[in-house]
Structure 1
């Protein structure tokens, strides 16, 4: 992961104009393929959102079994930003947004935690994978009450979704986001694939507000071939 805040000013200006009648504003970052820099984008944008929040911003890692967002902060991916602090229960008084398979006796509640990043107004989630039993897995499940409780408690919700070549989670929660940003590596993902991703998100009630092109060299026209407002980024690295 890399700190990309200096390169996301245009995206921030556009996304910060989002308005939500449901409370906090919510943005999801997702890619068609793994390794396109989604976690770097989401974490950097979340830090920017926290800087502009009167209360807090939450970075919700939807890849529960990996915790890439928490791991990035824990290893100090952003210079001058402290590591996550103590763990707090992230259930918000609601049923969990995850399901354990097989389901243990007692339901396995309170395995999702949230950690304040010291010196900021940002909180980042972490799923306690170490508490999974042998052969047990975790998956996200629909839980609108949790998302609404989160909207009431914070100013910004930034979702870091796993790429669609690994999981359909982004499609499952697309309607919970006020805007979806597609992250694309221009040298390996063609416009048709991005168009399919955009259509899939919108078919599930999501709203694509932009496409970020990473490592853009050969195909400088990719963004222009897609409908809607697009955003362009050029950088070396920045992978998940």
Structure 2
């Protein structure tokens, strides 16, 4: 109900972020389409020769993983500093403080929609066979959005009290990038890591999305259940930590 009540403010915050991001940019929103395409082309040239025998349709495999991981990274990174950057507004008027990381998450989601155009373009050029399962593609995106928002609430909370979180989180994201099979197959991981890969939520969401498009099937019930579980736990934990500490924000921002 609060989100509905403040829907106009949320809308203005998202529009403001879009304007700021593409201000004085000649190509503007087109960069959200070109960027994943260019990154996919570069990484395909670099890695396709190495993994072409174990990853059919490497460009599509890569751009799905790259696009979803970028969405998670952008959502949480922007949420991380959202309370601090909104200090002036928070000190002047009452606004539910979670509105700020939520608006950042919606902004990242809007960028994702444009990036998915790049995914669609690659699907056409690589002659992906479209099936009924592609209609379920919004499901892993929605679950990933919930998971990312929950993590965003957590890092936004702790960054208010510990500014070093911003730097530490970048290191964590870098490590997370390499332990998530974005540009390499899971089969190259050491045996002990393969056994624990399901503990990586991003692997679950990316695999769920890849299975729908590349394998034209729904992932096994264990992986899909984990996707729901990670989203639920992330949201509950994120809201709990955020609500528990939000009254103290005013003393630290």
Q: Calculate the TM-score normalised by the size of structure 2.
A: 0.25
Larger gyration radius, structure 1 or structure 2? 2
**Structure (1/2) with the larger helix percentage:** 2
Q: Calculate the TM-score normalised by the size of structure 1.
A: 0.26
**Structure (1/2) with the larger strand percentage:** 1
